[in-house]
């Protein structure tokens, strides 16, 4: 697969029915190994192993209803009270991060109303903090440590 701008991890890859699959530690099962999934697995491991995010509060492929249609958020971080705190949207490494990608994650946030939005193609990562009181958002220099999320 592709080399990413994320720490490597011991990926569990296997072949099933002639196709490569990778173990998803959040869903606790093997899933199809696509370029986007390669990014997701690296990013989730980065959040858990390097940023201190509790795996039990992360969920992959969370369905939301938006304007009568069903959409899926790639990864959602929940607070301990099970309200959503962060949405992460992944793209394959060859997909450019454009305004359309931000528009997509913003639409998901119309339903979940989280404090943090992250977009990554495995090479570039963008994180912004939404300030609902001021009606603004701020791009952060880095992906925050889990323990720092409430201090922004």
**Contact between residue 127 and residue 138 where contact means Cβ atoms under 8 Å apart:** no
pLDDT digits over 91-142, tens only? Answer: 999 999 999 999 999 999 999 999 999 999 999 999 999 999 999 999 999 9
Q: pLDDT digits over 33-88, tens only?
A: 999 999 999 999 999 999 999 999 999 999 999 888 999 999 999 999 999 999 99
> Residue 67 has what pLDDT?
85
Three-state SS sequence of 42-99: HHHHHHHHHHCCCHHHEEEEEEEEECCEEEEEEEEEECCCCCEEEEEEECCCCCCCCH
pTM: predicted TM-score of the whole model, two decimal places: 0.94
Element (H or E) spanning 6, and its range?
none
Long-range CB contacts for residues 142-145, cutoff 8 Å, separation at least 24 = 143/46, 143/47, 143/51, 143/118, 144/51, 144/116, 145/51, 145/52
Residue 49 lies in a domain: no
pLDDT tens, residue by residue, 93-105: 999 999 999 999 9
Q: Is the pLDDT of residue 151 over 50?
A: no
- The pLDDT assigned to 66 comes to 86
Q: Is the residue at 134 inside a domain?
A: yes
Residue 87: closest CA among 65, 64, 70: 64
Range of the structural domain that residue 145 is part of: 54-151
Kindly state the DSSP code that residue 115 receives in the 8-state scheme. S
In whole angstroms, give the CA distance from residue 116 to residue 75.
Answer: 12
- Domain of 104, CATH number, reads 3.90.1570.30
The confidence band for 152, taking pLDDT boundaries of 50, 70 and 90, is very low
Query: 45 and 60 in contact (C-beta within 8 Å)?
Result: no
Is 75 or 150 the better-scoring residue by pLDDT?
75
Query: Number of structural domains, the chain?
Result: 1
CB 33 within 8 A of CB 21: yes
Query: Is 32 part of any domain?
Result: no
Write down the mean pLDDT value for the chain. 94
């Amino acid at each position: 697969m592709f080399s990413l701008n994320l720490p490597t991890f011991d990926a569990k890859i296997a072949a099933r029915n002639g196709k490569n699959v990778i173990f998803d530690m959040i869903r606790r099962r093997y899933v199809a190994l696509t370029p986007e999934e390669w990014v997701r697995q690296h990013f989730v491991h980065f959040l858990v192993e390097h940023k201190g995010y509790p795996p039990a509060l992360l969920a992959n492929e969370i369905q939301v209803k938006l304007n009568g249609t069903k959409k899926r958020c790639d990864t959602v971080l929940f607070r301990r009270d099970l309200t959503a705190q962060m949405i992460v949207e992944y793209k394959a490494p060859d997909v450019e991060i454009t305004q359309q990608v931000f528009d997509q994650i913003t639409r998901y946030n119309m339903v979940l109303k989280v404090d943090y939005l992250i977009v990554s193609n495995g090479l570039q990562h963008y994180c912004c903090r939404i300030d609902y009181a001021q009606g603004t958002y701020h791009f952060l220099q880095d992906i925050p440590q889990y323990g720092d999320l409430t201090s922004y």
